[in-house]
Amino acid sequence: MAKLRAAAFAMVALALIISGCIQVPENNNQTNENENQNIPIAPTTYTTQAECEQTENCECLFVMCDYIPEGKTFEETCGIGFKKGWACR
């Protein structure tokens, strides 16, 4: 009896999915990818000013990103993978 009930449930679920009454997500990562498209990539930072200026061939400043506006995340404000240090101006 239990096998018959399980088979009937499976058939009903399949019919609902096929008819469109139940939607099965195709790709759960699609939402995350779209959200990350607007998040900047953090600049490359260095531990010393000299290392930054020699590697990047530019004038470097120390960046910390210590203020996060209300309603924003750290990544949205500072960029993905941000680390405080010396970066090109």
Is the Cβ–Cβ distance between 48 and 54 less than 8 Å? no
The amino acid occupying position 89 is R
pTM equals 0.56
Mean pLDDT by 10 residues, the chain (89 residues): 64 60 54 66 97 97 96 96 96
Is the Cβ–Cβ distance between 39 and 74 less than 8 Å? no
The confidence score (pLDDT) of residue 37 equals: 74
